[in-house]
A = this chain, B = another copy of it.
Amino acid sequence: MINELGKKAKIAEREIRIATTQQKNNALNAIKEALPKNVQKILVANDIDLEKAESNGISKVMQDRLRLTEERIINIANAVGEIVALPDPVGEIDGGCVRPNGLRITKQRVPMGVIGIIFESRPNVTVDAAVLCLKSGNAVILRGGKEAVNSNIALAEVMREAIAPHINPDVIQLVTDTSREVSTQLMQAREYLDLLIPRGGAGLINTVCENAKVPVIETGVGNCHVYVDEFSHMDMALKIADNAKCQRPSVCNAIENLLVHKNIAEEFLPKLFELWNDKVEMRGCERSKAIININSATEEDYYTEYNDLIIAIKIVDTIEEAMSHIEKYGSKHSETIVTYCYSNAEKFQKQVDAAAVYVNASTRFTDGGEFGLGAEIGISTQKLHARGPMGLKELTTVKYLVNGNGQVR
């Protein structure tokens, strides 16, 4: 199956990589218009998935992620409109020079080629991933979670029909066989895929990294920290910790750990306890337990991405100890220091190794929209190719155009 999809994708890729922005936007607008028109078709398919999910005892949270409604479909269509409005990175010139021998070298941004996206049972990702790949001039092969297969087939059909008058519809293809074998084939399709992006939880990402033989970008694992320095304003520290933990605890840029300098802990922790006692399950080191009445944090707690209203607290003696803790337990996603000390702010930003290193702001800003990139395909937690929020530009690569008049070496 992957062979067949791969061959078609390679043909479609040659067409879309030279498409104009206008042509791509026309295709995107067609998707935007087709989605609301096909609400019934999509909801019928979604109902089949939802019924199966219920009879298979899938959790309510998962069912909610799987569920489409007319309102949700309209929101998805509107998000497509936002992508139409974004600038097209393809064709941008990233620099160049004329060499002493007269050769003119131009570094130009071009599409990746064929991108695979493996994701869980969230049908909104089906559209989102497809349109980001299309806008950036790539062919995409989508492999969504098996619980959403009927919804995904319907969405892919609607999108493919919509774009067919504008571009080869094989720029969007869906893997309808959701078996593990076919999934593994996709991860190892070196002949066809230029890039594979897993979108989902740690389990999915690990499976992909363990099995893939094509280039992969890891996304979305976030074990983030707030470090409350000894030189920090209590109100700001409470506000940032509270926002970073509670505003949306299920996402990767929410914090899982709180580090507090020993000189401020006796003042800070009781206030935090007052704020969080009813809403956050606090687990702490021995020293923090001597100040507030909370459960113990184990070694494992410090490694855990709860994605829930739970936090592990540790009192540290120095900023160096805080940075060492982050180095050991963190996932290099987003880290913040709350401080009014210039040299500690500088030290933290210089020495902490993460995609985003903050001073006096919530980690929740690590996001394509908040960073001004427009839509994002995910947040990279690896260092190769892209780090942090990945927008359209991160779905492209470069090529060198070299123009001469007979130069040889």
Known A17-B353, A397-B387, A399-B356; judge A243-B404 contact (CB<8 A). no
- From B327, B364, B406, contact of A408 by CB (8 A): B364
Tell me whether B360 and A406 are in contact (CB under 8 A).
yes
Q: With an 8 A cutoff between CB atoms, is A403 at the interface?
A: yes
Taking CB atoms and an 8 Å cut-off, the chain A residues in 357-387 that contact chain B are 357-362, 364-366, 370-372, 382-385, 387
Tell me whether A355 and B400 are in contact (CB under 8 A).
yes
Tell me whether B353 and A105 are in contact (CB under 8 A).
no
Docked Cα-Cα span, A113 to B388, in Å, equals: 16
Interface-side segment among A36-44, A208-216, A286-294: A208-216
Q: With an 8 A cutoff between CB atoms, is A65 at the interface?
A: no
Give per-residue flags for A334-366: 1 if the beta carbon is below 8 A from chain B beta carbons, else 0: 000000000001000111011111111110111
Minimum CB–CB distance from A205 to chain B (whole Å) comes to 11
Tell me whether B243 and A365 are in contact (CB under 8 A).
no
| Chain A contact surface mostly | mixed
Identify the closest chain B residue to A14 (Cβ): B327
Docked Cα-Cα span, A370 to B100, in Å, equals: 9
Docked Cα-Cα span, A194 to B385, in Å, equals: 11
Taking CB atoms and an 8 Å cut-off, the chain A residues in 188-216 that contact chain B are 190, 194-195, 209-210, 213, 215-216
Docked Cα-Cα span, A409 to B369, in Å, equals: 12
Taking CB atoms and an 8 Å cut-off, the chain A residues in 220-257 that contact chain B are 236, 239-240, 242-244, 247
Known A327-B14, A350-B18; judge A240-B406 contact (CB<8 A). yes
Contacts of A194 in B (CB 8 A): 382-384
Tell me whether B387 and A385 are in contact (CB under 8 A).
no
Docked Cα-Cα span, A366 to B409, in Å, equals: 11
Known A382-B194, A397-B383; judge A404-B360 contact (CB<8 A). yes
Identify the closest chain B residue to A17 (Cβ): B353
Tell me whether A217 and B384 are in contact (CB under 8 A).
yes
Contacts of A327 in B (CB 8 A): 14
Minimum CB–CB distance from A297 to chain B (whole Å) comes to 22
Q: Return the 8 tightest CB-CB contacts between A and B, nearest first.
A: A361-B404, A243-B408, A385-B385, A383-B397, A215-B384, A356-B400, A361-B407, A362-B408
